[in-house]
Amino acid sequence: MSTVKVNGVSLGVESFGPEDAPLVLLAGGTTMLSWPDALCERLAGGGRRVVRYDLRDSGESTTEDPEAPAYTLRDLARDAAALAHALTDAPAHLAGIGVGGMVAQVAALDHPEAFSALTLAGTRAVAPGPVDDDLPDHDPATMGRLFAHPMPDWTDRAAVADFAAAGAEILGDDPDTARATAGRVWDRTPGTAPPVQLANQLGMVFSALDCAPRWRERLPEIALPTLVVHGRRDPFFPVGNAEAVAREIPGARLLVLEDASTAIPGAAAGEVAGAMLALGPGRS
């Protein structure tokens, strides 16, 4: 792992595959570990250089004040474009998962010259907060169970891992995978960081970010080959959100993972990688 400085901040990055291959740039949900190792390895095995990275206030990237971020969603989108330019002379395939998928949508709209293709996984086309009337919101019963779960001691690695596993079980994801990933996230959290940074890395305080103005109405402007990936059993962003994104981006392909929830299961890595690789190696 290393860091790349863009837009006055340092972004933690990790690369897979040959240096001279067409690039797939993976934003995290917040941390790069939102993208499974198995998927990155499958993409690299398909001849792509894969670079996944941490958004600001997570992992190895610049940390300031996760509770009151001084940057906006559009700053994160600028980070993605600047990182792509820093890594390759040609446009890059950009992928975003969860809240990283929101970043990726805005990046593709605001900086289309930086990207050759777009993959959006487990996300929606509106910011955290009240949802549009035609989009399904979080499943209330699931959210009630999720947010009733007591917060862990963020300084206790095992407690944080158990907390993540319990949340994954409620959401319908694999708890063992979530426990292992949370432990890795904890290990990558700076020792001097407050607990809120670790919470942010687990995707819990993104709602503090300024996401204005809206971007959903601009989705028809996206001219990039686009893949939308979503779990059929996702109670956090129900699949109707993905159907809307795929419907509103011209020519987008929707890939629904029938047995998945919010995370991309390891068993689906080959299918998702194949669909991403089918978008092409990029344009010169």
Query: Which pLDDT score, from 0 to 100, does residue 257 have?
Result: 98
For residues 36 and 60, the answer to whether their CB atoms sit within 8 Å is no
Per-residue pLDDT averaged across 227-232, rounded? 98
CA distances from 221 to 1, 109, 245, 250, 265 (A): 35, 7, 12, 8, 31
Residue 284 has pLDDT above 50, yes or no: no
Label residue 281 by pLDDT band (50, 70, 90).
Answer: low
Rounded-to-integer distance, Cα 234 and Cα 238, Å: 5
Specify the pLDDT at position 196.
67
Q: How confident is the model at residue 119 (pLDDT cuts 50, 70, 90)?
A: very high
133 burial class (0-12, 13-18, 19+ CB within 10 angstroms)? Answer: exposed
pLDDT interval class at 29 (50, 70, 90) = confident
Residue 282 has pLDDT above 60, yes or no: no
Q: Which tens digits make up the pLDDT trace of 56-102? A: 988 899 988 877 888 999 999 999 999 999 999 999 999 999 999 99
Residue 4 sits at φ, ψ, to 5 deg, of: -125, 130
86 contact partners, CB below 8 Å, separation of at least 6: 4, 6
In the Cβ-directed half-sphere of 190, how many Cα atoms lie within 13 Å?
A: 14
Average pLDDT of every residue of the chain: 92
pLDDT level of residue 283 (50, 70, 90 thresholds): very low
Q: Provide the pLDDT for residue 205.
A: 57
Fold observed for domain 2-132+189-277: Rossmann fold (3.40.50)
Strand partners, 10: 5
* pLDDT of res. 189: 83
Residue 264 has pLDDT above 80, yes or no: yes
Q: Where exactly are the structural domains of the chain?
A: 2-132+189-277
* Residue 8, CA distances (Å) to 55, 71, 82, 245 in order: 13, 12, 11, 32
Residue 212 identity (one-letter amino acid): A
Name the amino acid, one letter, at 31: T
CB 100 within 8 A of CB 27: yes
- Summarize pLDDT for 185-195 with one digit per residue, the tens: 999 887 666 67
pLDDT for residue 13 is more than 80: yes
Confidence of residue 203 (pLDDT cuts 50, 70, 90): low
